Amino acid sequence: MAHGRIRRLLLPIGGTALVVLAIIFMMPNGADVPPDELRDEIASAPTFVLPVWTPQLDEPPVAPSVTPSAQAATPGPTATPRPPARPSATPPPSTIPPATTAQARSELVINPGDNIQAAVSANPEGATFIIRAGVHIRQSVVPKAGQSFIGEPGAILDGENVSLYAFHGSARDVTIRGLVVERYMNPVQQGAIHGRAAPNGALSSGWRIEGNEIRNNYGGGIRLAPGMQVVSNNIHHNGQIGLTGGEGSGILIENNEIAFNNTRNVVAGWEAGGTKFVLTDGLVVRGNFVHDNKGPGLWTDIDNINTLYEGNTVINNERMGIFHEISYAAVIRNNVVKGNGYGFSAWLWGGQITIAGSSNVEIYQNTVEVGNGDGIVLIQQNRGNGKFGPHLTQNNHVHHNTITYLTGEGVSGAAADFQPEMMWGGNNRFDHNIYRGVDSAARRWEWRGMRTWDDFKSQGQEANGTVG
């Protein structure tokens, strides 16, 4: 968990130092260091001392990169390179006059060089700001309730590896649409678009994040909050993770591309990769293309309940494709999940769909393709209790899925290293599934040990399943 503290940092800035900022960079040895592109400039620059309040975060370990051995990564979008960071003044005061009450819902134009926060402060709730095409540098915006920020094609908010957040705050019903948001220095476990008062203050509600490209930010792309709708965005090449957080109900993640995240090789088991959703109720994750992330693709972890994963394409992620961990009721249906789990397939941890310490999950009509990982798996360990009861793997139903194996590796089934009889007798069921590309005489099913097809059926599983 994060804890606030006061730190005094020495930050050299070359040229005329009109703005002095402090940045926290999470490194394996705990040192605070600037990004690579600033090193040469820092060597000859003067030094300033600035006290800054920053979150005390757990230092994320850094992992070596892993390349898929069975399936090639799908080519993805390449982020447009930006010039290196340059010292510049705080954006000047806005030239936009405040709107009258009658004009509160009129559109106010923001040109490159205008100070967006000054315009926000000068105008009422519900105002709409049109962000003109061009590069808007080092902008950090705390919106008012109901305000909208609409980017023209080519409108870029560039943090220049200096500013921490593009948007943050606890206002309700904010819309952010049509922008490129890049190179913000938000810490790990936080987003360049950060749906709460920074860093860990009151949560926002009802934000709509739509049609943006969110790329090359230090920590996460988006930090979620209750009622947030994240729709039709391209979220890629962020340093730690694409989407993180949640902590509430009514969150929708729909029709996004989430790809190539965790460029800083943060250890995936800590928190890294495509997504990690926490403490949600009624989360809907639908129609997303989630690929080539260094970690799990879609991950619900810690007391999520009433989750729906539907119609997603989840491929070539280093860890699990869809991972529902120490959580509760969920439906996982009509997804295409393949080529995931190649980076860590020990025991059953390479599942295309993995249920761990979770109960009341229904998994059906998914198309699953296994390379070097595993198929659909259930895992029970000692994970304690949560908000809605013990974190036990019980009452899970896996049915009417098609699981195709491309190599001689990978299994489907269930395993436990804690109170196994509670799992075996916990109403976990596999049935009506189709397994292709696998020899029924091979031990490719797990249930109280590795088993052949007939042995698996003898355990009361797959009474109506087929191998073919």
Say what the pLDDT of residue 18 is.
Answer: 33
Domain borders along the chain are: 3-56, 105-467
- State the CB neighbour count (10 A cutoff) for residue 20: 14
- Per the prediction, the chain carries an average pLDDT of 84
pLDDT higher than threshold 90 for residue 95:
no
CB burial of 333-351 (b: ≥16 within 10 Å; e: otherwise) equals: bebbbbbbbbbbbeebbbb
pLDDT higher than threshold 90 for residue 27:
no
User: Peptide bond before 46: cis, by omega within 30 degrees of 0?
Assistant: no
What average pLDDT score do residues 318-338 get? 98
Dihedral sign computed on CA atoms, order 265, 375, 352, 404:
positive
123 alpha-carbon distance from chain centroid: 33
pLDDT higher than threshold 70 for residue 72:
no
DSSP state for residue 305 in the 8-state scheme: B
Look up residue 12 and give its two tokens. 């050299």
Say what the pLDDT of residue 106 is.
Answer: 72
Task: Give the model confidence (pLDDT) of 252-264 as tens digits.
Answer: 999 999 999 999 9
Tell me the sheet residues that pair with 376: 353
Dihedral sign computed on CA atoms, order 422, 426, 428, 429:
positive
Question: Whose CA is closest to 361, among 435, 294, 304, 296?
Answer: 304
Look up residue 110 and give its two tokens. 């923001």
| Whether the predicted model's global pTM rises above the 0.95 cut | no
Residue tagged 């249920």 (tokens): 355
Instruction: State the pLDDT confidence band at 60, using cuts at 50, 70 and 90.
Output: low
Sequential DSSP letters for 330-360: EEEES-EEES--TT--STTTTEEEEEES--S
105-467: CATH topology: Pectate Lyase C-like (2.160.20)
Rounded to 5 degrees, φ, ψ at 255 are 60, 35
Instruction: State the pLDDT confidence band at 102, using cuts at 50, 70 and 90.
Output: very low
Instruction: State the pLDDT confidence band at 346, using cuts at 50, 70 and 90.
Output: confident
